[in-house]
Each structure stands twice: as structure tokens, then as C-alpha cells.
């Protein structure tokens, strides 16, 4: 049911996310950057969603180096949060500036019904977590930002991401993960771990709810959710998986149109009109329209 056509009911995405974390199971969290994909993920049985800064940047046609604004983020997240009852985790990169900027974005996202924000310890402008050439801020600088986010939130969870494995060492990642946990972060996200053993040792060393990033073409091995659950991880994100597969499909059909003058060979791969209408509750909107503006039947002639 759409937020426009359904009766307004209270939802508590933060409590839902906390409940998922308490189970101890690893939860698959697909990346979504538009409402239609979010609705599809919910219909397919996923229990949590992720809004990726990298995928959002790509959707705007720019690299993941902090080029979009807070207001651009808020506008996009607003539509996604409205479209689903699932907990939504939002990547806020380095926080859009210093402590005061973090306070603003955390408060605004919480008002939209976001369940958690993810804050990383890179310098700004940042880089994709699986690319070389990253730099990170001092422990003190990051903890100040982290505490600003924690002070600004009411119930929302705060996920602390460290990129120190790739910049310095695995031991530095463990050190920072422990510090961020002790500073109040609800979930720790060690980015770009390089082996199964590193995932295992990090979980053993940093006793906290943990997030693993299973992005493709990166520095980390692609592990199954069951593997990661066994190793001690709670949230498993796939930040750009849907976007990448969609672009591959679009490229294929565009090539068919360009080279063959038709999309016919790709029609069987498409979601048909009725399926899309079902996702967006087309009939519910039609009923709403008829209810608030009933069609007037006019007699012809006088």
C-alpha cells in the first residue's frame, strides 16, 4: 500500500532494526537508491535497506567524492522512506562537514524515519572505500564527529565506519573499531578487510554488532551471509549490486536497439507493465482519485 492510499499507521524502524540486531543472525541488506527498488526489495522479503552514497553519486552522474549536497540526499531519502516500512540505513559519508553539519543531517534524517546513519573516518573529499589513495582523519577528529551524531539523535542508530585497514593496517582497524565502539557507536563497520581471516579476527577482537560490505570488484572477498553470520557479523550490505546489474541490463537492451533496430529480444527479461503497476499500487491510486473526485456522468442532449 502506498503512503498516499493506506491508512497512516505508526512504524518504528529503529526498534525494528534493533530487534534484527538482537537475533544474532546476519541480515542481508540490499542497496536501494529509488523508491521503486525499495518497494521491490520489501515485496521480496528483505528486512532492512541500505542507501549508498557511492550508488547515489553514480545515479547523479558524478564520482563518489562528496559532490552531492545534504538537501539532495534528504530529498531522495524522503521518497524512499515513504515508500517502505523497512528500516533504512543511510550512508552520510564524512558527515557533510564538521560537527554542526552532522547534527543537522542526523536530525533531518531521523525526522524522515531513517533507522540508522553510517559515518566514516575519511578526510573530505572522500573516496570510494575500495579504491586506493584514501586518507583518514585523526582518532580525535572522528570521535568528535561521532559524538556529535550520537548527541543529535534521539533513537536512531549510528554506525561507525573505519577505512584504516586500507590506509594503515589491520591492527589499526581493530584499534579504531574498539575506540569507536567504546565512544558509543551502535554498530562498527570495518571497510575493505582483505581476507576471511581478517573478518574473523576483527569480529573476535571488536565485540560489537558488526557490518560487512560485500560490494563487488573491491578488496574484500565475496562471502555468503551464512559465512559472515558464522564469523560474527550482523548486517551484510550490497550497496551497488542492484544498480550494477540494472546498468548491465540497460546496456544490453540499448545495444539491441542500436544494432538490431528493436528491443524484441530483450522483452522476456523485462518486468511487465502489470508487475510495475502492482509495485506502485496503481489501482489504489485510481480508487483514491475516484473517491475524492468522482467522475460526473453527464446526459447527452437537452
- Tens of pLDDT, residues 217-248: 999 999 999 999 999 999 999 999 999 999 99
Residue linked to cell 529480444: 265
Structural domain including 238 reads 13-242
- Tens of pLDDT, residues 144-165: 999 999 999 999 999 999 999 9
Q: Are residues 253 and 177 in the same domain?
A: no
Q: Are residues 223 and 254 in the same domain?
A: no
Where a domain ends, among 222, 242, 262?
242
Count of structural domains, the chain: 2
d(CA 122, CA 165): 12
Query: What CATH number does the domain containing 176 carry?
Result: 3.20.20.60
Q: Are residues 228 and 191 in the same domain?
A: yes
Q: Are residues 115 and 55 in the same domain?
A: yes
Please indicate, yes or no, if residue 106 is contained in any of the structural domains.
Answer: yes
Please indicate, yes or no, if residue 81 is contained in any of the structural domains.
Answer: yes
Q: Are residues 69 and 108 in the same domain?
A: yes
Q: Are residues 19 and 134 in the same domain?
A: yes
Phi then psi for 35, rounded to 5 degrees? Answer: -60, -40
pLDDT at 128: 75
- Tens of pLDDT, residues 104-128: 999 999 999 999 999 999 998 777 7
Where a domain ends, among 206, 225, 242?
242
Q: Are residues 284 and 184 in the same domain?
A: no
- The answer to whether residue 294 scores a pLDDT higher than 80 is no
- The answer to whether residue 1 scores a pLDDT higher than 60 is no
Q: Are residues 120 and 225 in the same domain?
A: yes
Q: For residues 2 and 281, is the Cβ–Cβ distance under 8 A?
A: yes
Q: Across all residues in the chain, what is the average pLDDT?
A: 92
Please indicate, yes or no, if residue 230 is contained in any of the structural domains.
Answer: yes
- The answer to whether residue 300 scores a pLDDT higher than 80 is no
pLDDT at 130: 75
Q: Are residues 58 and 124 in the same domain?
A: yes
* Ranges of H-type helices in the chain: 13-22, 35-43, 53-59, 70-83, 99-111, 139-152, 164-167, 170-182, 196-205, 225-231, 241-260, 273-279, 282-292
Q: Are residues 130 and 279 in the same domain?
A: no
- Tens of pLDDT, residues 28-67: 999 999 999 999 999 999 999 999 999 999 999 999 888 9
Amino acid at each position: 500500500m502506498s503512503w498516499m492510499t493506506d491508512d497512516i499507521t505508526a512504524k518504528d524502524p529503529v526498534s525494528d532494526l534493533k530487534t534484527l540486531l538482537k537475533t544474532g543472525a546476519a541480515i542481508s541488506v540490499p542497496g536501494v537508491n529509488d523508491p521503486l527498488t525499495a518497494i521491490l526489495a520489501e515485496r521480496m522479503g528483505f528486512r532492512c535497506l541500505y542507501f549508498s552514497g557511492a550508488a547515489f553519486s553514480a545515479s547523479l552522474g558524478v564520482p563518489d567524492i562528496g559532490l552531492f549536497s545534504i538537501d539532495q540526499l534528504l530529498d531522495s531519502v524522503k521518497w524512499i522512506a515513504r515508500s517502505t516500512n523497512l528500516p533504512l540505513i543511510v550512508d552520510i559519508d564524512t558527515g557533510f562537514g564538521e560537527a554542526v553539519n552532522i547534527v543537522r543531517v542526523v536530525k533531518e534524517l531521523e525526522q524522515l524515519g531513517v533507522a540508522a546513519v553510517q559515518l566514516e573516518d575519511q578526510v573530505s573529499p572522500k573516496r570510494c572505500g575500495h579504491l586506493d589513495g584514501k586518507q583518514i582523519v585523526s582518532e580525535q577528529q572522528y570521535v568528535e564527529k561521532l559524538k556529535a551524531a550520537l548527541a543529535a539523535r534521539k533513537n536512531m542508530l549510528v554506525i561507525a565506519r573505519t577505512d584504516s585497514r586500507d590506509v594503515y593496517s589491520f591492527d589499526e582497524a581493530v584499534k579504531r573499531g574498539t575506540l569507536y565502539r567504546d565512544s558509543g557507536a551502535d554498530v562498527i563497520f570495518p571497510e575493505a578487510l582483505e581476507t576471511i581471516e581478517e573478518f574473523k579476527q576483527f569480529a573476535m577482537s571488536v565485540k560489537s554488532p558488526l557490518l560487512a560490505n560485500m560490494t563487488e570488484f573491491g578488496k574484500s572477498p565475496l562471502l555468503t551471509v551464512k559465512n559472515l553470520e558464522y564469523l560474527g557479523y550482523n548486517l551484510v550490505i550490497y550497496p551497488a549490486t542492484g544498480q550494477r546489474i540494472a546498468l548491465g541490463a540497460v546496456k544490453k537492451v540499448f545495444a539491441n536497439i542500436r544494432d538490431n533496430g528493436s528491443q524484441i529480444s530483450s522483452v522476456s527479461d523485462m518486468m511487465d507493465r502489470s508487475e510495475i503497476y502492482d509495485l506502485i499500487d496503481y489501482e489504489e491510486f485510481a480508487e483514491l482519485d475516484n473517491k475524492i473526485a468522482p467522475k460526473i456522468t453527464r446526459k447527452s442532449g437537452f
